[in-house]
Amino acid sequence: MKPTKYIWHKGRLVRWEEATVHVLAHGLHYGSSIFEGIRVYDTPQGPAWFCLDAHLRRLGDTARIYRMPLPHDREAMANACHEVVAANGLRSAYVRPIAYRGLGTLKVNGEASPVEVAIAAFEWGSYLGEEALRAGVDIGVSSWQRVAPNTLPTMAKAGANYLSSQLITMEAARHGYAEGLALDSFGHVSEGAGQNIFLVRDGVLYTPPVAAAILPGITRQVVLELAGDLGIPVREMAIPREMLYTVDEIFLTGTASEIVPVRSVDGLEVGPGHRGPVTERLQQAFFGLFDGTTPDTRGWLVPVRPSRS
Instruction: Return the active site residues.
Output: 157
Gyration radius (Cα) of the chain, Å: 19
Q: Distance between CA atoms of 305 and 123, rounded to whole angstroms?
A: 18
- 267: alpha, beta or left, given left = phi > 0 and alpha = psi -120 to 50? left
* 234 alpha-carbon distance from chain centroid: 21
How far is residue 277 from each of residues 88, 127, 196, 251, measured CA to CA in Å?
A: 38, 22, 19, 11
Query: Which is nearest to 189 in space by CA: 257, 140, 248?
Result: 140
How far is residue 122 from each of residues 4, 62, 139, 240, measured CA to CA in Å?
A: 6, 24, 28, 38
Q: Distance between CA atoms of 78 and 147, rounded to whole angstroms?
A: 32
Q: Distance between CA atoms of 77 and 86, rounded to whole angstroms?
A: 14
